[in-house]
């Protein structure tokens, strides 16, 4: 049943001209991991779902503030630097919802978050840009935030500030995939 359902999803994506499919698979579930690999998906990264109380601290040299419409271009540029594409639609939605935040360093936007939540993403030029966004978050939405395990500096920093890993997930893709070149927090949606 699962194989047929996933093949239907893959066919629908192909019909719509999607260049690829991404998913996050629960790390403990060996059968679904095997299914996705057998269908051609490649494991790209291990992601830790992290949650806990907000840190609510400012980091010297990093100014975090609510994003405005005027920040959209800068957010898109940071995302293009890290992912090779922008996610302007999601940033615009977060601006409307009032959840988008930016971090500035030396007077320019160096990162942003659509929110700090399971269904949101964040991008920064450096790991400290993401640390500043996480430290200033008023809360973490849903099950927590997703931190790539390969960014051991960020993951260790989260743990040292009272956050806990609650589950590991596998980021898997088929088709187009651009390896990120910078700091990022993925979303369950992307």
The CATH number given to whatever domain includes residue 54 is 3.40.630
* 21 part of a folded domain: yes
Residue 75 within a domain: yes
The domain in which residue 10 lies consists of 2-185
Q: Phi and psi (nearest 5°) for 13?
A: -65, -40
| Domain membership flag for residue 125 | yes
Say how far apart CA 160 and CA 180 lie, in whole Å: 25
The count of domains in the chain is 1
Q: pLDDT band at 4, cuts 50/70/90?
A: very high
pLDDT tens figures, 17-27: 999 999 999 98
Q: What is the structure's pLDDT at 178? A: 85
Is residue 190 domain-resident? no
Domain annotation covers residue 6: yes
Mean pLDDT of the chain: 94
pTM value is 0.91
Q: Is residue 37 one of the residues assigned to a domain?
A: yes
Residue 104, domain member (yes or no) = yes
């Amino acid at each position: 049943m699962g194989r047929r359902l996933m093949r239907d999803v893959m066919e629908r994506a192909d019909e719509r001209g999607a260049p690829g499919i991404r998913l996050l698979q629960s790390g403990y579930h060996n059968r679904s991991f095997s299914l996705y690999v057998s269908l051609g998906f490649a494991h790209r990264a291990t992601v830790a779902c992290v949650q806990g109380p907000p840190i609510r601290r400012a980091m010297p040299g990093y100014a975090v503030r609510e994003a405005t419409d005027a920040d959209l271009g800068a957010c898109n540029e940071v995302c293009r630097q890290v992912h090779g594409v922008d996610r302007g639609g999601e940033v615009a939605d977060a601006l409307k919802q009032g959840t988008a935040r930016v971090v500035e360093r030396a007077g320019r936007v160096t990162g942003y978050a659509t929110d700090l939540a399971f269904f949101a993403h964040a991008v920064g030029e450096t790991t400290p840009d993401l640390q500043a966004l996480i430290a200033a978050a008023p809360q973490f939405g849903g099950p927590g935030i997703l931190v790539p395990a390969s960014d051991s500096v960020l993951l260790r920093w989260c743990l040292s500030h009272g956050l806990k890993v609650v589950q590991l997930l596998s980021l898997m893709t088929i088709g187009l995939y651009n390896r990120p070149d910078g700091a990022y927090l993925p979303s369950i949606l992307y």
